[in-house]
Amino acid sequence: MATNISTARNPYATSFGTKVLNSLKNLLPTAVATLILLTIWQLLCSLPGATLPGPIQVVEETWPLIIDPFYRGDGTDQGLFWQLAASLQRVAVGYSLAAVAGVALGVLVGVSTLMFRALDPIFQVLRTVPPLAWLPISLAALKDSQPAAIFVIFITAIWPIIINTGVGVQNIPQDYNNVAKVLKLSKMKYFTKVLIPSTVPYIFTGLRIAIGLSWLAIVAAEMLTGGVGIGFFIWDAYNSGIVSEVILAIIYVGLVGLLLDKIICFIADRVVPAD
Amino acid sequence: MSAFVVIDHIDQVFPLANGGAYIALKNISLEIKKGEFVTLLGHSGCGKSTLLNIIAGLARPTAGGILLEGRQVTEPGPDRMVVFQNYSLLPWLTVRQNIALAVDEVMSHLPASERSEIVEHHIDMVKLRPAAEKRPGQLSGGMKQRVSIARALSIKPKVLLLDEPFGALDALTRSGLQDQLMQIAQQNQLTCIMVTHDVDEALLLSDRIVMLTNGPESYIGQIIDVPFARPRERLKVVNHPNYYALRSEISYFLNQQKKAKQRKTQVVAIARNGLEKVNLELGFMPLTDCASLVVAHEMGMFKKYGLEEVTLSREPSWKAISEGVVSKRLDAAQMVAGMPLGLTVGMGGRAPIPVVTSLVLSRNGNAITFSKRLFEAGVRNLADFKAMLTAEAGAQPRTLASVHPASMHNLIMRYWLASGGIDPDHDVNLTVIPPPQMVATLKAGNIDGFCVGEPWNAHAVSEGLGFVIANDLELWAGHPEKVLGMREDWANQYPETHLALVKALMEAAEYCDDRRNRGEIAELLAKPNYVGAKLDYIRAGFLDPYDRGDGRPPETLLRFNQFHIDMTNCPNRGEALWILTQLARWGIAPFPKNWVDVLDRVRRMDVYGAAARALEMPDTAPNRGSFALFDGTVFNPDDPLGYLDSLAIKQEIQIQEIDLDGAVSKTAVAA
């Protein structure tokens, strides 16, 4: 605290210094809250008869995993980095496919009233199906756990992308459409100069929701399909009775999810045109 | 000069959520010349932007169409570029890119270097060089509108459409841009159509100002020609001697419309059949052209539309009819065409009583009959009569009769006399006699001629008492003759009954115009409780060839009695305005300064249209425009006062503002 105050009073403080100070100020409440939560967790788990390990015990028990994420063993015995990488790879494939198909379908239902009437009710029904409910069907159809897991990601991620893109296209301001009509803009020009620029903010809202859902779905899907991946790692740890590893994995899952969200936000900020 | 843009009988109807329909525009017709700057002016909600969108092709009219250089407009296109009210620039493109988008698309046949030259030229034209690389978000409102104008002009449209282009700008920016637009429009000979609600802006920029009435069913209320010479300068325009006269004329129009907007109708309890009132007392005069009332009564049209207890009351005179309706003894009545207008503006110095008409019952059917004595004295036409009067100067003047001061008989006979150089108020003696007494009075020698409807001319001719010197097919074919008239407060109190009555009478009118039915109708009319005349007299002109009694063989006049065909029933406002000018011309009533409002209230086109649509008949109205009677004097409905000025024979014209709502409250107090 003493250093903080002295920095604040320093008349020669650089703007960089002020920035660091500000972000420290913002982080402080988070740090305090985390500390309190950890304390409560530790206290609760120190009670007699506690079934779960406390934070200190978790760190002690999983120390090898923490310090060596790049460990390579046989089969599913891999470091946490590789587990996460395997999961991320599946997400990347499924999500990319969903993004391409979702934007295309969204534009289609947005542009054509007929297509909207035909397809929107179907989308509305399908999007309520929980991701894991697709797994048996995809396993039955694709006969392999790897493509089945990717399909689950795809089918989970595609709905918010379609729906948001569709809404975005439908919400292109009438003014812009009128300009396009009066100028008789060609289809291609309308698409690149009007439709896409004005729909991009909606598309990114969809993409952001979709990335969150994909990450949720992959953990669940991997628990069932097995193989290398953070989902199966959790399941495996549970079956081996090592709850500390489960907890560590959950923390990693949360952090990676947050990171994915931030990445999409970062891209959106670069791509979405400023008004 | 042929029209460049033709707006041809546009109707625009929007379906409502409750299954009804909102009629935004009704029968809008306008022709615009090349290089002309036309402004559409009106209160918000009057449909002026809707009309502009229709011209742009962004909206399709429900009926009618737009022609540009003779070709129908079916979709938007760069030949009708729009400057939108909210600029409509693409925010992700720079000023240059926004203009280039238009130029590259529309002028793709030009090489790239030429296109970029055009873009740069237009950036300079609106003085936006320093902002060329900026995006719309970084520009002020005025700059954005300049980009929008530059974009519109860069593609060289045939017509430039401007939708309240300066509405959102501050006064200083606005006047600067107006000057700029005026200059550009002049230099490039642009044809412009602009929507605005700013009177000064309209006067500064336009050649013609088209003023729309309030919705629903907006129509062109008045068109004003702006006479200021071009090129114009703001200060010179403002200091022009006509400027404030025009400005106040426009403001007056807008104020009238504002008042009209504030009126509301009350809701009344329904009696039966979905109608507020099913027992009606309707007045009529014993004349062939009461046929549609008689048919509606006898053939069940009244009952069909739920009017269960209609009594037709045979009235002794038109005066009795007007008093019957005013005193509310009669619910509605057959009236001579000028009566609702005359009562509404306060005919003969009486307080104005708003009376409406939503249906013209008949057209034509009158003739001017002169006595056999004049025939024997050699009178065959108007010139002969004039010569006779000149020869007789100083003696007792000849006496002619019509049926009511506000009747077409009176107005057309006066017009006819005046066209022959005879002042009807000095050179002859004019008197009013109820139709059934005409023949007897002529026989007694008290009058030398009359103008009346059938069967009374035929009666005089067949008895050898007179001859028809002119019939109204020769004077004004298709003029409105009898109308359905009722008090405005009655019409407001019983709107559904009113509509049912109009529907029943329209259907009856259609029946009357089928010549196969006319024999039967003539027999009905001959009955003593209706016309009570010999069948032969009624059939004359109605069905049989018409004998003028001047030795020529009888001729078949297919349109002598017109009940339905050719928009007979439409109470259109142009002809009503002519009647107003004639009432004023002969000192019968003052000319209402607020004539647009008077016509809007008296001639209920909305009820007529609703009835026609309900009967699945066309609800079209005749063209709004100038017309002429037999003598060729053109009547321009946009300049009734100029028309009155131009007439040689007339009385002193009184012009008054008629306070229609004040009149209502006064009579209410009196009652």
- Assess B115–A contact: CB distance below 8 Å, yes or no: no
Residue B401 DSSP SS3: strand
The token pair that represents A199 in the structure block: 């729909």
CA distances from B171 to B178, B209, B431 (A): 10, 21, 61
**Inside any domain, residue A261:** yes
The token pair that represents B386 in the structure block: 């004039």
In B, which residues are within 8 Å of A175 by CB distance? 84, 86-88
Please indicate, yes or no, whether residues B278 and B247 belong to a single structural domain of this protein: no
Q: Hey, are the CB atoms on B155 and A193 less than 8 Å from each other?
A: no
Instruction: State the residue range of the domain holding B95.
Output: 5-257
- Burial degree of A59 (CB within 10 A; 0-12, 13-18, 19+): middle
CA-wise closest residue to A174 among B88, B57, B45: B88
Point out the residues of chain B with pLDDT beneath 70. 1, 262-271, 662-671
**Inside any domain, residue A71:** no
Last residue of a domain, one of B257, B283, B308: B257
Last residue of a domain, one of A36, A51, A66: A51
Pure H helices in B83-233: 95-106, 112-125, 141-154, 171-187, 199-205
- Assess B101–A contact: CB distance below 8 Å, yes or no: yes
Please indicate, yes or no, whether residues B233 and B322 belong to a single structural domain of this protein: no
**Inside any domain, residue B127:** yes
Using the CB atoms, write b or e for B588-623: b if 16+ within 10 Å: bbbbbbbbbbbbbbbbbbbbbbbbbeebeeebbbbe
- CA–CA min distance A175, chain B (Å): 5
**pLDDT (tens digit per residue) in B249-289:** 898 888 888 877 766 555 556 667 788 888 899 999 999 99
DSSP state of B309: E
**Inside any domain, residue A56:** no
The token pair that represents A92 in the structure block: 């990347």
Please indicate, yes or no, whether residues B252 and B271 belong to a single structural domain of this protein: no
- Assess B482–A contact: CB distance below 8 Å, yes or no: no
Residue B18 to residue B283: CA distance in whole angstroms: 38
**Inside any domain, residue A60:** no
Please indicate, yes or no, whether residues B200 and B348 belong to a single structural domain of this protein: no
In A, which residues are within 8 Å of B87 by CB distance? 175
Please indicate, yes or no, whether residues B43 and B190 belong to a single structural domain of this protein: yes
Please indicate, yes or no, whether residues B276 and B249 belong to a single structural domain of this protein: no
- Assess B109–A contact: CB distance below 8 Å, yes or no: no
In B, which residues are within 8 Å of A273 by CB distance? 91-92
Neighbours of B186 (CB within 10 A): 14
φ, ψ dihedrals at B647, nearest 5° = -75, 135
Please indicate, yes or no, whether residues A29 and A164 belong to a single structural domain of this protein: no
Please indicate, yes or no, whether residues B249 and B271 belong to a single structural domain of this protein: no
Please indicate, yes or no, whether residues A254 and A141 belong to a single structural domain of this protein: yes
Instruction: Name the amino acid, one letter, at B412.
Output: I
Please indicate, yes or no, whether residues B488 and B596 belong to a single structural domain of this protein: yes
Residue B188 to residue B27: CA distance in whole angstroms: 32
- Assess B621–A contact: CB distance below 8 Å, yes or no: no
**Inside any domain, residue B367:** no
CA distances from B98 to B104, B149, B566, B625 (A): 10, 11, 52, 42
DSSP string, A163-207: HHHHHHHHTS-HHHHHHHHHHT--HHHIIIIIIHHHHHHHHHHHH
Contact predicate A106/A203, CB 8 Å: yes
Q: What is the pLDDT of residue B277?
A: 86
In A, which residues are within 8 Å of B86 by CB distance? 175
DSSP string, B551-573: SSPPB--TTSSBSSTTTTT---H
Closest CA in chain A for residue B58: A178
Instruction: State the residue range of the domain holding A41.
Output: 2-51
Q: What is the pLDDT of residue B668?
A: 35
Find the CB nearest B77 among A179, A182, A273. Answer: A182
In A, which residues are within 8 Å of B137 by CB distance? 274-275
CA A246 from centre of chain: 20
Instruction: Name the amino acid, one letter, at B33.
Output: K
**Inside any domain, residue A66:** no
Pure H helices in chain A: 2-9, 15-46, 55-67, 80-111, 113-126, 134-142, 145-170, 174-183, 187-189, 196-225, 230-239, 243-271
CA-wise closest residue to B262 among B21, B597, B26, B593: B597
Please indicate, yes or no, whether residues A37 and A122 belong to a single structural domain of this protein: no
In A, which residues are within 8 Å of B58 by CB distance? 178, 181-182
CA distances from B317 to B218, B357, B457 (A): 37, 19, 17
Neighbours of A156 (CB within 10 A): 28
- Assess B317–A contact: CB distance below 8 Å, yes or no: no
Q: Which of residues 43-62 of B touch A (CB under 8 A)?
A: 56-58
Residue B610 to residue B571: CA distance in whole angstroms: 13
CA-wise closest residue to B378 among B393, B365, B367, B391: B391
- Burial degree of B80 (CB within 10 A; 0-12, 13-18, 19+): buried
Residue B548 to residue B469: CA distance in whole angstroms: 8
CA-wise closest residue to A139 among A218, A234, A231, A224: A224
Please indicate, yes or no, whether residues A88 and A38 belong to a single structural domain of this protein: no
Contact predicate A109/A120, CB 8 Å: yes
Please indicate, yes or no, whether residues B250 and B276 belong to a single structural domain of this protein: no
Please indicate, yes or no, whether residues B300 and B237 belong to a single structural domain of this protein: no
Please indicate, yes or no, whether residues A85 and A211 belong to a single structural domain of this protein: yes
Residue B279 to residue B501: CA distance in whole angstroms: 11
Task: Assess: ipTM above 0.90.
Answer: no
- Assess B63–A contact: CB distance below 8 Å, yes or no: no
**Inside any domain, residue B661:** yes
Contact predicate B433/B403, CB 8 Å: yes
Please indicate, yes or no, whether residues A8 and A129 belong to a single structural domain of this protein: no
Supply angle C-alpha B518, B519, B525, rounded to 5: 80
Point out the residues of chain A with pLDDT beneath 50. 1-8
Please indicate, yes or no, whether residues A36 and A169 belong to a single structural domain of this protein: no
CA B262 from centre of chain: 22
Please indicate, yes or no, whether residues B182 and B69 belong to a single structural domain of this protein: yes
**Inside any domain, residue A143:** yes
Find the CB nearest A181 among B58, B90, B137. Answer: B58
- Assess B135–A contact: CB distance below 8 Å, yes or no: yes
In B, which residues are within 8 Å of A182 by CB distance? 56-58, 76-78, 80-82
Contact predicate B552/B576, CB 8 Å: no
The token pair that represents B213 in the structure block: 């009435």
Q: Hey, are the CB atoms on A183 and B88 less than 8 Å from each other?
A: no
CATH of the domain at B530: 3.40.190.10
Last residue of a domain, one of B225, B257, B289: B257
Number of domains in chain B: 2
Interface A-B, measured as beta-carbon pairs within 8 A, has a size of: 59
- CA–CA min distance B163, chain A (Å): 12
Please indicate, yes or no, whether residues A34 and A94 belong to a single structural domain of this protein: no
DSSP state of B437: G
Q: What is the pLDDT of residue B270?
A: 64
Find the CB nearest B137 among A184, A185, A275. Answer: A275
Residue A197 to residue A172: CA distance in whole angstroms: 10
CA-wise closest residue to A161 among A214, A113, A122, A197: A214
The token pair that represents B56 in the structure block: 């742009």
Please indicate, yes or no, whether residues A33 and A133 belong to a single structural domain of this protein: no
The token pair that represents B562 in the structure block: 């017109």
CATH of the domain at A213: 1.10.3720.10
Which residues are within 8 A (CB) of B172 and not within 5 positions of it... i.e. 6 or more apart?
A: none
Neighbours of A251 (CB within 10 A): 12
Q: Hey, are the CB atoms on B90 and A179 less than 8 Å from each other?
A: yes
Q: Hey, are the CB atoms on B81 and A182 less than 8 Å from each other?
A: yes
**Inside any domain, residue B242:** yes
Using the CB atoms, write b or e for B418-449: b if 16+ within 10 Å: bbbebebbebbebeebbbbbbbebbeeeebbb
Number of domains in chain A: 2
Neighbours of B133 (CB within 10 A): 10
Last residue of a domain, one of B232, B257, B282: B257
**Inside any domain, residue A58:** no
- Assess B155–A contact: CB distance below 8 Å, yes or no: yes
Please indicate, yes or no, whether residues A109 and A234 belong to a single structural domain of this protein: yes
**Inside any domain, residue A235:** yes
Residue B381 to residue B469: CA distance in whole angstroms: 6
Please indicate, yes or no, whether residues A29 and A90 belong to a single structural domain of this protein: no
Q: Which of residues 567-606 of B touch A (CB under 8 A)?
A: none
Cross-sheet strand order for the sheet of B208-212: B80-83, B159-163, B191-196, B37-41, B208-212, B220-225
Residue B642 to residue B244: CA distance in whole angstroms: 18
Find the CB nearest A176 among B90, B105, B135. Answer: B90
Closest CA in chain B for residue A274: B92
Q: Hey, are the CB atoms on A193 and B101 less than 8 Å from each other?
A: yes
- CA–CA min distance A200, chain B (Å): 11
- CA–CA min distance B148, chain A (Å): 10
Q: Hey, are the CB atoms on A181 and B90 less than 8 Å from each other?
A: no
DSSP string, B64-111: EEEEETTEE--S--TTEEEE-TT----TTS-HHHHHHHHHHHHTTTS-
Please indicate, yes or no, whether residues B250 and B278 belong to a single structural domain of this protein: no
Please indicate, yes or no, whether residues A86 and A15 belong to a single structural domain of this protein: no
- CA–CA min distance B247, chain A (Å): 33
